[in-house]
């Protein structure tokens, strides 16, 4: 398969893994706010961590079909995930406090901010 076609397939699978992880992220975000009255930043961060675990497994086995050992791949993945989680929190906070966006659009904005960077880094370095 040509490199460009392979990248397109990986991008599509990465999108699917990201959607699955985002569903976990947003679901936990809503549950933690409604059930435990957590502040949006903490609920979102908790959801992002849970979503990252789902995304790691799907990307390791499905998207990139990695042959890298789990210790190496997972440490790289979660290093980048930690950076992306911090970016998520920063963008969410900025969007809510400086742009005066409500939670839902602010969270969508924060999620979109990390998608393409995550794909490029994970494709080129993590897996």
Its pTM stands at: 0.74
Q: What is the pLDDT of residues 4-26, one digit of tens each?
A: 999 999 999 999 999 999 999 99
Secondary structure in 3-state letters for the chain: CCHHHHHHHHHHHHHHHHHHHHHHHHHHHHHHHHHHCCCHHHHHHHHHHHHHHHHHHHHHHHHCCCCCCHHHHHHHHHHHHHHHHHHHHHHHHHHHHCCCCCHHHHHHHHHHHHHHHHHHHHHHHHC
Q: What is the pLDDT of residues 22-60, one digit of tens each?
A: 999 999 999 999 999 999 999 999 998 899 899 999 999
């Amino acid at each position: 398969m040509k490199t460009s076609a392979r990248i397109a397939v990986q991008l599509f699978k990465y999108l699917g893994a990201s959607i699955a992880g985002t569903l976990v992220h947003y679901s936990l975000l809503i549950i933690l706010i409604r059930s435990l009255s957590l502040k949006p930043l903490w609920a979102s961060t908790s959801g992002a961590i849970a979503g990252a675990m789902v995304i790691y497994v799907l990307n390791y086995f499905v998207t990139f079909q990695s042959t890298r050992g789990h210790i190496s791949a997972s440490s790289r993945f979660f290093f980048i995930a930690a950076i992306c989680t911090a970016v998520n929190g920063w963008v969410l906070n900025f969007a809510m406090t400086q742009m005066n966006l409500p939670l839902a659009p602010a969270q969508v904005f924060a999620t979109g901010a990390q998608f393409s960077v995550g794909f490029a880094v994970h494709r080129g370095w993590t897996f």
